[in-house]
Amino acid sequence: MIATVFRDRVDAGQRLGRALAGIIDGRATVLGIARGGVIVAAEIADLIGADLDVVIPRKLGAPGNPELGIGAVAPGVRVVDERAVRMLQVPASYIDAEVARQEDEIARRLRAYRGDRPVPDLEARTTIVVDDGVATGVTALAALRWARGLGASPLVFAAPVGPAGIETRLAGECDRCVVLETPADLRAVGQWYRVFDQTTDDEVRVALRPSPG
Indicate the average pLDDT of the chain.
Answer: 94
Q: Which has the higher per-residue pLDDT, 212 or 106?
A: 106
Bridge partners (DSSP) listed for residue 119: none
Q: What is the mean pLDDT of residues 43-66?
A: 96
pLDDT of residue 26: 83
Distances (CA, A) of 98 to 23, 35, 66: 38, 19, 10
Q: What is the mean pLDDT of residues 167-194?
A: 94
Quickly state the pLDDT bin for 3 (edges 50, 70, 90).
low
pLDDT of residue 116: 87
Give me the half-sphere count of Cα atoms (radius 13 Å) on the Cβ side of residue 151: 7
Q: Is the pLDDT of residue 1 over 50?
A: no
The pTM score is: 0.94
Distances (CA, A) of 56 to 93, 129, 172: 23, 11, 20
Q: What is the DSSP string of 161-209?
A: E--TTHHHHHTTT-SEEEEEE--SS---GGGGBS--PPPPHHHHHHHHS
Bridge partners (DSSP) listed for residue 31: 53, 129
Q: Is the pLDDT of residue 211 over 70?
A: no
Q: Is the pLDDT of residue 213 over 50?
A: no
Task: Please write the tens of the pLDDT for every residue from 63-93.
Answer: 999 989 999 999 999 999 999 999 999 999 9
pLDDT of residue 25: 83
Q: Is the pLDDT of residue 136 over 70?
A: yes
Bridge partners (DSSP) listed for residue 61: 69
Q: What is the mean pLDDT of residues 46-66?
A: 96
Q: Is the pLDDT of residue 147 over 60?
A: yes
Task: Please write the tens of the pLDDT for every residue from 95-129.
Answer: 999 999 999 999 999 999 988 889 999 998 899 99
Q: Is the pLDDT of residue 53 over 90?
A: yes
What are the structural domains of the chain? Answer: 9-56+116-208 (3.40.50.2020), 59-113 (3.30.1310)
